[in-house]
Amino acid sequence: MKRKLKKSSMNLFYVPALAVMLVFIGLPLLNGVKLSFFKWNGYSQNMTWTGLSNYGDMFSDKNLRVSFLNTLLYGFGSMFLENILGLLAALFVNSRFKGHTAVRTFVYMPIMISSLVMGYIMYYFVQFDHGILNEILGWFGREPVDWLADASRGRILITVINSWQYCGTSMVLYLAGLQGIPDLYYEAAQIDGASVMQRFRRITMPLLVPAISSAVVINLIGSLKLNDIIISLTNGGPAQKTHSLSTYISYAYFRIERAGYASAIGVFMFAFILAVSMVANRYFRKREVEY
Amino acid sequence: MAGKTSVAVKKRKRKNWWKYPVAVLIIFITILPLYVLIEMSLKRPTDLASRLSWPTYVYIDNYIKVLRDSNLLNAYKNTMLVTASVIAIEVFCGCLAAYPLARKQTRFNEVVRSVIMAVMMVPAVSVLVGVYSILVNLNGINTYWALILVTSAFGLPLSIYLYSNYIVAIPRALDDAARIDGANYFQCFWHIILPQLKPVTATVIIMKGINAWNDYLYPMYIMQKPKMYTIVLVIKQFFSESSTDLHGAAACCLLGMLPILGLYISLNKYFIKGAVDSAVK
């Protein structure tokens, strides 16, 4: 008995960490599920039980549908762009030339800047009056464009800027993957007369699958949660058309004061991201090769 | 032989020439936003010359104004306090929790482990309503402890994951030897495991430090009084309230981001290692 007690006493070590997570994530999660069944403005004492009506409202809310589609665009669009840019950067940095570490340092650098602040910095570029993009258009005799006045242009800017800022993560993962591939394989293929493209398709890509799977999952989950840069670039506008699920939750809670509804969207978003990450992980687990 | 290699090197050099313009272009694109911030912050607010041009004079009043009128200095203090506390909690609770999870692979601990991994997937914003209403009840709005604990809670899963992966690789024989000598679990952890955790602790400090420094969502809702603002919130205030003073805002941005950029430039090897280590699916 005494021995058993002693053995499990080691488990006491994770009590502090679990306690913090329980109080500030577990309870809020349950609290959020509870609130999603109520009509509540977020601060008053009156809460009315409305059953599933908040969830029902989600189907008829046009803004929410747009936010959800935007979330998919931001998530999958950024994932593709980040992976392509990251892979190109990694292949470039990995090829031997002087100053490749400087390139690596600079590609990763934008990640140091808060993405909220990055959005504000981009304001110097996309502003209508004196913005740098419009100045460049002017050089070619084009009319200035009000970049953020149009929702689809706003969405593309958000996706592109986010992908550029965070492509360093994929680059770093691909670099680690590339450096793990033995040179021997390339030499053997070269002797057999394989072209550069063939070597890339038959050696690099298959052996890079573990790196690709980490990069895809990390980028996808990260971009599906996209929040800060939307706040600073468009703040969901024009006409609530560039919101993601994240920013729409804050909007529903603090702007239109529908806390119950915001919780319902939160529950949905949580379930959605959990499902996506499980599917993505399973998909890639089957495709990893040993070498 | 020597002649042969030098020919090969020359050949490779000739083949590599296109890489230099590409490298310069990549670096240029990254530097451009910083360049714009710097030259904007040095220009007079009335200067409407192109934003790509470097000023012919130096106007430091933007900086003086930022330091005098905004509460940036106070925000430095708040941000550093919050970041340091978050790091301390995540390092301490993280490695402590990782020890039993790495050493005792019971079924119960497997469940705990997968719960922690699932928590990593929880989008912070999806529990916003729940967290906020609990904090209001606990009088946590506008307090340091609320922001510190909420940020730590969301960061702990990654820290536990990193530590437990690292501890698994430490030979168990070391623990066993100490146990035979009569050390209890805590002594074992303190004297055997802890001293070996320096590299992974560097990763945790870097990755979680960047997050805490740059975080926006929870600081925004928890720190509502200007006295409690973090740096990111001061920068936001500059852009959203006085959008006419883009020059002062540029100075504020630069001052706010300078510490982290400086650290990155001087320690970038460790930052990149940290990014690779913390790639969790």
Per-run averaged pLDDT (10 residues), chain A, 291 residues = 55 88 91 90 84 89 94 95 94 86 91 92 88 89 87 94 94 90 88 87 87 89 92 88 93 89 92 89 73 53
At A45, list the tokens: 């004492």
Q: pLDDT tens digit string along B131-186?
A: 988 899 899 999 999 999 999 999 999 999 889 888 988 888 888 888 888 888 88
Residue pair B126/B58 in contact (Cβ under 8 Å)? The answer is no
Which range among B38-47, B60-69, B208-217 has the greatest average pLDDT?
A: B208-217
Q: pLDDT tens digit string along B195-209?
A: 889 989 998 999 899
CB-based contact A117 B214, cutoff 8 Å = yes
At B239, list the tokens: 């852009």
Helix, strand, or coil (residue A195): coil
CB-based contact A106 B154, cutoff 8 Å = no
The whole-number pLDDT of residue A194 equals 86
Residue B33 touches partner A, C-beta closer than 8 Å = yes
Number of domains in chain A: 1
Residue A35 touches partner B, C-beta closer than 8 Å = yes
Tell me which of A114, A227, A279, A285 to substitute to probe the interface with B (most B C-beta atoms closer than 10 Å): A114
d(CA B275, CA B45): 39
Is A29 inside any structural domain?
no
DSSP one-letter string for A106-165: HHHGGGGS-HHHHHHHHHHHH-TTT-HHHHHHHHTTPPP--TTSSHHHHHHHHHHHHHHH
Domain coverage including residue B44? 16-59
Is A134 inside any structural domain?
yes
Q: Are residues B205 and B237 in the same domain?
A: yes
Number of domains in chain B: 2
Is A12 inside any structural domain?
no
Is A137 inside any structural domain?
yes
CA distance to partner chain A, nearest, from residue B237 (Å):
11
Is A234 inside any structural domain?
yes
Residues of B in contact with A174 (CB under 8 A): none
Is B11 inside any structural domain?
no
At A274, list the tokens: 């959990």
Residues of A in contact with B126 (CB under 8 A): 32, 249, 266-267, 269-270, 273
Residues of A in contact with B215 (CB under 8 A): 114
Residues B275-280: what's their mean pLDDT? Answer: 76
Residue B164: partners with Cβ closer than 8 Å, 6 or more residues away: B98, B99, B101, B102, B113
DSSP one-letter code for B55: P
Is B223 inside any structural domain?
yes
The whole-number pLDDT of residue B6 equals 63
Q: CATH number for the domain including A213?
A: 1.10.3720.10
Is A42 inside any structural domain?
no
d(CA A273, CA B66): 40
Q: Are residues B83 and B54 in the same domain?
A: no
Q: Are residues B31 and B169 in the same domain?
A: no
* Helix (H) / strand (E) containing B178: helix B172-180
Domain coverage including residue A139? 56-285
Residue of A nearest to B39 (CA): A124
Q: pLDDT tens digit string along B54-97?
A: 888 888 888 988 888 888 899 999 999 999 999 999 999 999 99
- Those of residues 140-159 in A touching chain B at CB distance below 8 A are none
Residue B26 touches partner A, C-beta closer than 8 Å = yes
Residues of A in contact with B89 (CB under 8 A): 20
Residue pair A147/A128 in contact (Cβ under 8 Å)? The answer is yes
Q: Which residue intervals of chain A are DSSP H helices? A: 2-9, 15-21, 27-35, 53-60, 62-72, 78-94, 100-108, 115-126, 132-139, 151-179, 183-191, 196-199, 205-207, 209-224, 228-233, 245-250, 259-285
Q: Are residues B136 and B247 in the same domain?
A: yes
Across the interface, which of B27, B99, B112 has its CB nearest the CB of A103? B27
Does ipTM exceed 0.95?
no
Q: Are residues B143 and B253 in the same domain?
A: yes
**CA dihedral for A212, A214, A217, A220, sign (positive or negative):** negative
Q: Are residues B125 and B190 in the same domain?
A: yes
Residue pair B103/B190 in contact (Cβ under 8 Å)? The answer is no
Residue A29 touches partner B, C-beta closer than 8 Å = yes
Q: Are residues B171 and B191 in the same domain?
A: yes
Is B169 inside any structural domain?
yes
Q: Are residues B124 and B233 in the same domain?
A: yes
List C-alpha distances in Å: A1 to A6, A31, A87: 9, 39, 57
Residue pair A264/A59 in contact (Cβ under 8 Å)? The answer is no
Q: Are residues B20 and B120 in the same domain?
A: no
- The position carrying tokens 């189907």 is A59
The whole-number pLDDT of residue A86 equals 94
Is A243 inside any structural domain?
yes
Q: Are residues B53 and B152 in the same domain?
A: no
- Those of residues 223-262 in A touching chain B at CB distance below 8 A are 224-225, 227-228, 231-232, 245-246, 249-250, 253-254, 259, 262
Is B64 inside any structural domain?
no
Q: pLDDT tens digit string along B102-125?
A: 888 888 888 988 888 888 888 888
Tell me which of B40, B108, B115, B125 to substitute to probe the interface with A (most A C-beta atoms closer than 10 Å): B125
Is A266 inside any structural domain?
yes
Residue A81 touches partner B, C-beta closer than 8 Å = no
Residue B89 touches partner A, C-beta closer than 8 Å = yes
The answer, yes or no, to whether residue B281 has pLDDT greater than 70, is no
Q: Are residues B41 and B143 in the same domain?
A: no
Q: Are residues B49 and B79 in the same domain?
A: no
Cβ-based neighbour number of residue B224 at 10 Å: 13
Is B186 inside any structural domain?
yes
The whole-number pLDDT of residue B95 equals 92
Q: CATH number for the domain including B211?
A: 1.10.3720.10
